[in-house]
């Protein structure tokens, strides 16, 4: 999920993919999302250590919502890529978009699948063709955490096909916003209908037609940012409101969960609205670069979040297998340290050894088509943010 926007100078970090620079605030959002996901999968049981249990409470309680945070952020960033390309050129190259996304996502994923084929614990027919074809959220898979990749790929495939058709005529941002709002309403409606019809919890969580609203919400935010920048700036002035809504949303998610009827229907709406509020709380906030002791480590985690997400469960299970008596479901501090350490370590290796070399090749042979005017605008925004951050 590469960002199309540059970061304030004080918050920039080198982008080893060859794409320029990254935003500290957005990497912090990624870091929070992956930490929630790790907590959900790793912290099912208390550790017995009060401090550690307090740190793991969000992940253990509503860490499943980390995926919704990824969805909203992904929709926001990819939506801006699509809309800014159309704004610059009057068109959108869906094929180029699809190939660039494939080169971003497939290398780490397919190397992971190859390792599973050679040394994984599950029968190949329970995950390989399903995941390779991005059908795992409908066909089922023994690698259950990869369902979210299928939702993203389905959503962006539809975007790549339909957006060029829509923009052949005069493009109206209001029409796009209306379509996206309709997706938000429709997804909630079909969740309620599916729940009433007895659709299982897993299907309600995994299947694209039930979950496309979180990605659509991110694209809707992108539509405002690109085509109504003044309105978007006004939204960012109410950070206190978004922070309060983030807290209230977190409280709701912690108490309702996703297993009860209200949680598996309205709960996913609350999850992406909370994610959007959190994104607006952090986006361009001047306190993010000032709180470097907290935000820089979180952003570092976010930079490797994709590799960590793909590998975390397999990494933890494999490394724990080297320690007799260390059960995956154990919550002891030592086991938790092994799980988190192995997930992050192998995720970083996957990023450095697989993802980044391919991205460098992608930028060499299929570069981003940003123009000098875009770069000038980015520098101007960056300078303004630096002045704000430094007071």
Q: How many domains does the chain have?
A: 1
Report if residue 2 sits inside a domain: no
- Please state the rounded mean pLDDT for residues 318-342: 92
Three-point CA angle 372, 375, 380, nearest 5°: 130
- Please state the rounded mean pLDDT for residues 270-278: 98
- Please state the rounded mean pLDDT for residues 242-262: 95
User: Are 186 and 263 within 8 A, CB to CB?
Assistant: no
Rg (CA), the chain: 20
Q: Is 385 helix (H, G, I), strand (E, B) or coil?
A: helix
Report if residue 50 sits inside a domain: yes
Mean pLDDT across the chain, nearest whole number? 89
Tens digits of per-residue pLDDT, 9-23?
333 444 434 344 689
Q: Which residue has the higher pLDDT, 331 or 249?
A: 249
- Of the ranges 182-186, 272-276, 360-364, 375-379, which one carries the lowest mean pLDDT score? 375-379
Report if residue 314 sits inside a domain: yes
pTM (two decimals): 0.90
Report if residue 63 sits inside a domain: yes
Report if residue 189 sits inside a domain: yes
Which pLDDT score, from 0 to 100, does residue 382 have? Answer: 40
For the cut 90, the answer to whether the pLDDT of residue 257 exceeds it is: no
DSSP letters, 361-379, are: HHHHHS-----HHHHHHHH
- Please state the rounded mean pLDDT for residues 266-281: 98
Q: Which residue has the higher pLDDT, 87 or 357?
A: 357
Q: Which residue has the higher pLDDT, 279 or 163?
A: 279
Confidence of residue 310 (pLDDT cuts 50, 70, 90): very high
Confidence of residue 362 (pLDDT cuts 50, 70, 90): very high
Tokens of 169: 């005529």
Which pLDDT score, from 0 to 100, does residue 148 have? Answer: 97
Report if residue 1 sits inside a domain: no
Q: Which residue has the higher pLDDT, 370 or 213?
A: 213
Give the pairing type, strands 20-21 and 14-15: antiparallel
Under the phi-then-psi rule, with left for phi > 0, alpha for psi from -120 to 50, and beta for the rest, what region is 239? alpha
- Of the ranges 263-267, 336-340, 353-357, 365-369, which one carries the lowest mean pLDDT score? 365-369
- Please state the rounded mean pLDDT for residues 339-343: 97
Report if residue 101 sits inside a domain: yes
Domain that holds residue 286: 9-390
Confidence of residue 38 (pLDDT cuts 50, 70, 90): very high
Q: Percent of the chain, pLDDT > 90? A: 77
Q: Report how far Cα 371 is from the mean position of its chain's Cα atoms.
A: 27
Q: Is 327 helix (H, G, I), strand (E, B) or coil?
A: coil
Which is nearest to 75 in space by CA: 14, 33, 123? Answer: 33
Report if residue 134 sits inside a domain: yes
Tens digits of per-residue pLDDT, 115-168?
999 999 999 999 999 999 999 999 999 999 999 999 999 999 999 988 887 776
């Amino acid at each position: 999920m590469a960002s199309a926007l540059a970061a304030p100078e004080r918050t920039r970090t080198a982008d080893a993919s060859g794409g320029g620079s990254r935003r500290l605030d957005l990497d912090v959002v990624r870091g929070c999302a992956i930490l929630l996901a790790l907590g959900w999968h790793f912290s099912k049981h208390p550790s017995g250590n009060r401090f550690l249990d307090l740190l793991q409470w969000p992940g253990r309680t509503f860490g499943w919502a980390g995926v919704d945070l990824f969805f909203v952020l992904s929709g926001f960033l990819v939506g801006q890529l699509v809309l800014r390309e159309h704004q610059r050129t009057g068109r959108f190259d869906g094929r180029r978009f699809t190939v660039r996304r494939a080169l971003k996502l497939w290398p780490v994923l397919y190397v992971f699948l190859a390792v599973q084929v050679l040394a994984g614990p599950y029968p190949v027919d329970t995950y390989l063709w399903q995941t390779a074809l991005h059908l795992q959220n409908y066909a089922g898979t023994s690698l259950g955490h990869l369902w979210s990749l299928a939702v993203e790929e389905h959503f962006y495939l539809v975007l790549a096909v339909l957006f060029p058709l829509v923009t052949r005529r005069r493009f109206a941002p209001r029409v796009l916003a209306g379509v996206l709002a309709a997706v938000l309403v429709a997804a909630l409606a079909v969740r309620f209908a599916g729940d009433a019809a007895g659709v299982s919890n897993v299907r309600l969580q995994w299947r694209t037609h039930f979950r496309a609203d979180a990605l659509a919400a991110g694209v809707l935010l992108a539509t405002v940012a690109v085509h109504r920048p003044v309105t978007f700036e006004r939204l960012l002035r109410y950070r206190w409101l978004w922070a309060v809504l983030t807290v209230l949303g977190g409280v709701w998610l912690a108490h309702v969960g996703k297993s009860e009827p209200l949680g598996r229907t309205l709960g996913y709406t609350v999850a992406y609205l909370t994610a959007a509020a959190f994104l607006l709380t952090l986006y361009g906030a001047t306190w993010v670069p000032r709180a470097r002791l907290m935000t820089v480590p979180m952003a570092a985690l976010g930079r490797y979040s994709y590799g960590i997400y793909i590998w975390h469960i397999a990494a933890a299970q494999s490394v724990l297998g080297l320690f007799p008596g260390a059960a995956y479901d154990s919550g002891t501090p030592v086991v938790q340290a092994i799980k988190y350490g192995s997930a992050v370590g192998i995720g970083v290796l996957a990023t450095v050894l697989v993802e980044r070399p391919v991205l460098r090749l992608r930028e060499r042979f299929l570069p981003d088509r940003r123009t000098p005017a875009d770069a000038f605008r980015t520098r101007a925004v960056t300078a303004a943010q630096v002045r704000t951050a430094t007071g």
